């Protein structure tokens, strides 16, 4: 039976890290002679969502303790969609 009352024990805060797929419009170039026909082809990038602000959606490839590895900054105005794939819960934010 669950006990809804405090037990006096400190519980560790659970911190979630979310693996996402970000679809966004990237800049591109065409080499050589061509007709002017720009395309909006979505680029998809996968990573751990670090933060989303008005200016940037920031992803990381790895995380260890309080450090993020391989940060990827995508301009928010270029983002078409952010699709959550999996929520990863950690019991200790320092690991």
- Evaluate whether the domain defined by 15-27+39-90 bears CATH number 2.30.30: yes
Residue spans of the domains in the chain: they are 15-27+39-90
3-state SS string for the chain: CCCCCCCCCCCCCCEEEEEEEEEEECCCCCCCCCCCCCCCCEEEEEEEEEEECCCEEEEECEEECCEEECCEEEEHHHEEEEEEEEEEEECCCCC
| pTM of the full structure | 0.75
Question: Are 15 and 90 spatial neighbours (Cβ–Cβ below 8 Å)?
Answer: yes
Question: Are 71 and 63 spatial neighbours (Cβ–Cβ below 8 Å)?
Answer: no
In a structure prediction context, what are the per-residue pLDDT tens digits for the chain, which is 95 residues long? 555 555 555 545 557 899 999 999 999 888 889 899 888 889 999 999 999 999 999 999 999 888 999 999 999 999 999 999 999 886 565 55
């Amino acid at each position: 039976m669950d006990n809804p009352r405090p037990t006096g024990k400190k519980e560790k805060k659970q911190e979630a890290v979310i693996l996402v797929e970000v679809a966004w419009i990237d800049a591109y170039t065409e080499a050589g002679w061509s007709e002017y026909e720009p395309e909006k082809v979505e680029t998809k990038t996968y990573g751990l969502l670090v933060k989303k602000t008005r200016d940037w959606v920031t992803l990381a490839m790895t995380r260890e303790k309080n450090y993020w590895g391989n940060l990827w900054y995508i301009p928010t105005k270029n983002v078409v969609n952010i699709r959550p794939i999996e929520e990863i819960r950690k019991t200790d934010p320092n690991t």
